[in-house]
Structure 1
Amino acid sequence: MLDLHSREVLGSQRVEMSFDVGTVLLETYNWESPVTAANFLNYVRAGFYDQMLVHRAINGFMIQMGLLSFDGYNDEDRVTWSIRTPGPSIINEASNRLSNSRGTLSMARTSDPNSATAQFFINQADNSFLDFGSSNNPDGYAVFARVYSGMSVVDEIAAEPTTQLAGVGSDVPARGVLLQSVRFL
């Protein structure tokens, strides 16, 4: 009985992500991914994700953010950016049995399973090859939230033409897709 009550109390937090192309509504999995969800919600509370660029978009895979700050436009009307400094890394909670299915949010990380900080991605497709215990990624990528409204916005962003950007990598949306704000509901 206590676990059921705890899950109801700690179960989720609703969040609104406002992009320049629309709004995505999500809820966190606080019970299943307590460290990861708390990490994300702390960044939301601090305004870390406001005025940020989507720095990776791969149609049929995912969109990623949490790295590049939108700094404005230069004299040639091109987007200017800087790298936003995140806080410390967290443990990998990918063993929580949540799958990287379409519409879930997961923490991005390096090859070190416990290196996630602020970067996260929204799965545009079912990406079970990113799940804990998979042959390609045995350590997995920790799912900590799910989109409950706005997947058409994710699809639109994933379909954006991309380019390569020195210091960032490939698959960067060429026009500079802006994550304007992330707020609690």
Structure 2
Amino acid sequence: MRNLLLASVAALAAGPAFAAGLDIEVEGEANGVIHIELFEDTAPAHAERLTTLAAQGAYDGVVFHRVIDGFMAQTGDVQYGKAGGDMSRAGMGGSDFPDLPAEFTDARSFERGVVGMARSQSPDSANSQFFIMFAPAPHLDGAYTIVGEVTEGLDVLDAIKRGTGANGAVVGQPDVMASVTVTE
């Protein structure tokens, strides 16, 4: 029993910053895989939400509906953001799960490749949508939950079709998350 307890304490002390991740297969102007490591240590509820939706297949076929050059690419609207659907409401939906309370941290900052949770005006309104940073944006620190970071596939991220419409809305055929799988 004592050895098990010591092993458990040692495992917690040496625990990784990331445990689970996502592989996002992107199709469109960008083609390839973006690998994201999730920060289960600082944003456990948000990381769990992303892995749950990915495991259910909810993200498969969801478009990058808002892409602002030099800033970020946003996706994850499982309600209104499916490719082939009416894109006029993309970015306005979420999932069937309740919104999440914010999980802010001072341990990380919005840098290139960081993944943040999209939300409405309320800090406690993140649900299924997320965004990936093209460049640092320290003005977002402490205002949005940081849930992970890209560890492979920044070239794929950089190739995602940029928005030209109002507020970065992608006009025409947006790039799509063809499939999103959970990795360990």
Shorter-normalised TM-score: what interval? Answer: 0.7 to 0.9
Instruction: Indicate the structure with greater strand content.
Output: 1
Q: Is the 8 A contact 1:59 1:155 kept in 2?
A: no
Specify the alignment match of 2:32 in structure 1.
22
Q: What percent identity do the matched residue pairs reach?
A: 26
The corresponding residue for 1:142 is 145
Indicate if the aligned counterparts of 1:32 and 1:96 stay in contact, CA closer than 8 A: no
Q: Are 1:69 and 2:67 matched, yes or no?
A: no
**RMSD, aligned α-carbons:** 2.3
**Deviation above 3 Å: which 4+ runs of structure 1?**
1-4, 79-85
- 1:39-98 Cα offsets, whole Å, 9 max, x none, are 1111111111110010100111000001243343xxxxxx75475641210010113532
The amino acid across from 2:182 in the alignment is F
In structure 1, give the amino acid aligned to 2:178: Q
- Where structure 1 has 5 or more consecutive residues not aligned to the other structure, the ranges are 73-78, 133-139
Match of 1:5 among 8, 11, 30: 11
Comparing 21-30 and 91-100, the one that deviates more = 91-100
Is 1:118 the counterpart of 2:128 in the alignment?
Answer: yes
SS of the residue aligned with 1:118?
coil
Q: In the alignment, does 2:163 pair up with 1:162?
A: yes
TM-score (normalised: structure 1):
0.80
8 Å Cα contact 2:60/2:180 also seen in 1: yes
Size of the alignment, in residue pairs?
166
Determine if contact 1:98/1:143 at 8 Å carries over to the other structure.
yes
Q: Which residue of 1 aligns with 2:179?
A: 181
Distance 2:39 2:144 in 1: 14
